Amino acid sequence: MSELSSVMSPTDVIAVAKRLILAGQTDPARRLLLDIADEAEDPVEVTFLLASIAVAEKRFDDAIDLYRDILTDQPGLTRVRLELPRTLFLNEEYEASEHHFRLVLATEPKGPVATNIRKFLDAIWDRRTFRYTFAFAVAPDSNINVAPEDERVDLFGLPFTLDGDAQKTSGVGIVASGGIEYLPRLSDRAKLQTNLYVRHSQYSGDTFDDTFVSLNSGPAFHWSRTTLIIQATGYYRWFGHSAYNRSIGGRATLQHDLSRKWRLNTTLAYEHVNYFDNNSLDGPVYSLYASATYGLTSRSFLRMFSAFRYERAKALSLRNWETRLGVGYYQELPWGIIAYLQPEVTYNP
């Protein structure tokens, strides 16, 4: 094959390699492409063909790396955008596959392509049975305990002097979190979705260490463009290595693809919270979260959201509303850089 590549132009070699790929002769096709890779007029085409060979040979990790290399330099290539999530799907990387398929849908591809993407999205939901996440960070915080910096505060018209632990405290901590989701099948359209999440923040000394563990479980139903999840929820929290509070409740989440560009997500939740050291804070908490995601291009989207939370504490003076509004912008840039900017405002009347 090296002799063939030495007497033919790179363009002709690529044409021969394509015919070999179609004939299932991937090994000689790969060797030909590697021989002329540095001389080809369009190196992206060579890389794309090498990725196609890797898929045919079930070397999915290699193919994914090659597709990502192309998109690092040219993030707007729609054909590569389609092949990447398909290969991620074959490699059982369903979370990443869904993300990239939805970006492609935002370009409003022709009918057959969009229909095929929908089939992949349904298959992703059907096949996904387990996933996990893990994060680790060093987190400087100027106000670990979310406290005022004043030494004295007025409560009900009376002055009180705060001790050191109740005043604003800064520090650098280590934050680790992880989650597991398990989705065994109940029927053709239903699964049992169980989520376990753990988060721990560690600071110098034990005073402000924070550990949070939550468990949610319930049925999830899926139709072509709609997913409904109904779960019982609960959490337990330790602060300073002492039991702080716990809750039990429920939530319902509705996700719906309004069109190829628009996706809606709404969560309604109720929980009853009990505090171990301050019963006046005990009571129900009601919350509503709604977001709309609009696909701009195959590498960007806009997300608008609103969130409302009402704590009906036992003590009237501690009952409160919180409203959050925000807009997020996601953009994939050259050189493999991903940017996400999300300004938001919070209002506590």
Q: What is the pLDDT of residues 19-37, one digit of tens each?
A: 888 888 888 888 888 877 7
- Is 5 inside a domain boundary? no
pLDDT at residue 150, as a whole number: 58
Judgement on whether residues 76 and 15 belong to the same structural domain of the protein: yes
Judgement on whether residues 92 and 158 belong to the same structural domain of the protein: no
- Written as one letter, the residue type at 257 is D
Phi/psi of residue 115, nearest 5 degrees: -60, -40
- Among the candidates 82, 110, 126, a domain finishes at 126
| Residue with token string 């591809």 | 109
Band (pLDDT 50/70/90 cuts) for residue 257 is: very high
Phi/psi of residue 326, nearest 5 degrees: -160, 165
Phi/psi of residue 129, nearest 5 degrees: -125, -15
Per-range mean pLDDT, top range of 106-115, 150-159, 165-174:
106-115
Judgement on whether residues 71 and 167 belong to the same structural domain of the protein: no
Distance CA 234, CA 273 (A): 9
- Is 21 inside a domain boundary? yes
Judgement on whether residues 101 and 157 belong to the same structural domain of the protein: no
- Is 145 inside a domain boundary? no
Phi/psi of residue 202, nearest 5 degrees: -120, 120
3-class DSSP state for residue 74? Answer: coil
Judgement on whether residues 101 and 171 belong to the same structural domain of the protein: no
CB 253 within 8 A of CB 267: yes
3-class DSSP state for residue 55? Answer: helix
- Among the candidates 110, 126, 142, a domain finishes at 126
Write the pLDDT tens digit of every residue in 316-346: 988 999 999 999 999 988 777 889 999 999 9
- Among the candidates 75, 109, 126, a domain finishes at 126
pLDDT at residue 158, as a whole number: 59
- Nearest CA-CA partner of 206 in 161, 163, 146, 165: 165
Band (pLDDT 50/70/90 cuts) for residue 222 is: very high
CB 98 within 8 A of CB 222: no
Write the pLDDT tens digit of every residue in 124-155: 999 999 999 999 888 766 656 555 555 665 55
Judgement on whether residues 254 and 309 belong to the same structural domain of the protein: yes
CB 232 within 8 A of CB 224: no
3-class DSSP state for residue 290? Answer: strand
Distance CA 187, CA 66 (A): 38
CB neighbourhood size of 227 (10 A): 17
- Is 148 inside a domain boundary? no
| Residue with token string 């039990």 | 248
Distance CA 203, CA 143 (A): 12
Distance CA 316, CA 257 (A): 41
**Total number of domains constituting the chain:** 2
Domain assignment of residue 69, given as a range = 10-126
Judgement on whether residues 109 and 226 belong to the same structural domain of the protein: no
Distance CA 223, CA 256 (A): 9
Judgement on whether residues 41 and 98 belong to the same structural domain of the protein: yes
- Is 161 inside a domain boundary? yes
> What are 32's strand-pairing partners?
none
The upper half-sphere exposure of residue 336, i.e. CA atoms within 13 Å in the direction of its Cβ, equals 6
Judgement on whether residues 183 and 328 belong to the same structural domain of the protein: yes
pLDDT at residue 94, as a whole number: 94
Judgement on whether residues 164 and 307 belong to the same structural domain of the protein: yes
Judgement on whether residues 195 and 315 belong to the same structural domain of the protein: yes
Residue 140 — left, alpha, or beta (φ > 0 → left; ψ -120 to 50 → alpha)? beta
- Is 166 inside a domain boundary? yes
Judgement on whether residues 165 and 314 belong to the same structural domain of the protein: yes
What is this structure's pTM? 0.81
CATH assignment of the domain containing 186: 2.40.160.40
* Cα separation values, 59 from 29, 35, 86, Å: 15, 20, 13
CATH assignment of the domain containing 74: 1.25.40.10
- Is 271 inside a domain boundary? yes
- Is 178 inside a domain boundary? yes
How would DSSP label each residue in 184-200? -BSSSSEEEEEEEEEEE
The mean-pLDDT minimum among 122-126, 156-160, 194-198 falls in 156-160
